[in-house]
Amino acid sequence: MRKLSYAKALREALCIEMDRDERVILLGEDIAAYGGSFKVTDGLLAQYGAERVRDTPISENTIVGLATGAALMGLRPVAEIMFMDFIGLAVDQIVNHAAKFHYMYGGQKAVPIVVRTPAGGGRGYGPTHSQSLEAWFMHSPGLKVACPATPADAKGLLLSAMRDDNPVLFVENKLLYGVQDEVPEGDYTVPFGQARIAREGTDLTIVTYSRMVGESVVAADALEQQHGISAAVIDLRTLCPLDMDTVTESVSATGRCLIVAEDYQTAGVAAEIGFQVIERAFEYLDAPLRRVCGLDVPIPCARGLEEIVLPTRSRIATAAFELATF
């Protein structure tokens, strides 16, 4: 099978859907002539024209508001927020409008928008360009949240998102854009709410998503080679809906659960997953839950300090070893 980068897989999904459905339009800062900050939309202006690939003002609230209004009028917009850190400026439009209109109008109106945004650290961009804020939006009913970890899932989940009649927040980790892996050709979708077993294991379960899937698999491989400990790694793929059935089945079999997330630890994604594990599989646990998350501090610019603040494969491996030998 051919290999594509994560960014090119996303672009391929956009092209497939724009070819298939003329209602799909793209909106965002510098996405047209410049091709986007991370070049996901590079070349799409020439291919589809300025009516369907539109540069917007530097106003996140306006971008999502325009997308929401266009969706209510029958279009299927894909809006890009240049950095997830800026999404706070659009929270009102996302949470109070896009996520609620279907309910408020008694099901008469759908809001089929996708809000794409790059998240995460590792590039030395500092505290206002490096955050992972997906936990904010898990708290908002009516909104779906996708966090693909591989190029194949980036393409398949984005196609699913663009065909969904609900608003979808599509979170893309910045360090994954250049990662290459096998991607099927043609049109295919990856369903929301269906986790992927990224690695089989018998001694503990690592539950994670986005870039931390790859880091967790590397950590698990090292753990098995060095200590003979077998760790399963579950890639959640989507946070809303959340596939807790797959998580529960694995944790019930291994008896141990480590949750890895790049976002802040306090009230983060790991906290929700951990509590649901307790609710569903407490009687199967042979050890306390563990989590490896970003530290509760602003993310530094200095690369050495950034490595201390963000989860690393070393931190994951250490926590997994301690949990497995508890």
- For 134-174, what is each residue's pLDDT tens digit? 999 999 999 999 999 999 999 999 999 999 999 999 999 99
For position 6, what pLDDT does the model report? 98
pTM for this prediction: 0.97
Tokens of 300: 């530094």
Strands 231-235 and 53-55: unpaired
Q: What pLDDT score was predicted for residue 236? A: 98
- Active-site residue set: 60, 129
**pLDDT at site 57:** 96
Convert the pLDDT of each residue in 88-114 to its tens digit.
999 999 999 999 999 999 999 999 999
Tokens representing residue 312 in the block: 């690393």
Please tell me the predicted confidence (pLDDT) of residue 177. Answer: 98
Q: Grade residue 117 by pLDDT with cuts at 50, 70 and 90.
A: very high
What is the rounded CA–CA span in Å between residue 97 and residue 99? 6
User: What one-character DSSP code corresponds to residue 174?
Assistant: G
At residue 1, the pLDDT reads 85
User: pLDDT, tens digit, for every residue of 259-285?
Assistant: 999 999 999 999 999 999 999 999 999
Q: How far apart are CA 134 and CA 94, in angstroms?
A: 13
Percent with pLDDT over 90 in the chain: 100
Domains and CATH numbers, the chain: 3-182 (3.40.50.970), 196-324 (3.40.50.920)
Q: Are 17 and 8 in contact (CB under 8 A)?
A: no
Taking the C-alpha atoms of residue 103 and residue 269, their distance in angstroms, rounded to an integer, is 25
Vertex 158 angle, CA 2 and 95, to 5°: 160
pLDDT of 49 strictly over 90: yes
Mean pLDDT to the nearest integer, 190-209 = 98
The answer to whether the beta carbons of residues 16 and 187 sit under 8 Å apart is yes
CB 143 within 8 A of CB 94: yes
The residue assigned the tokens 């880091």 is 215
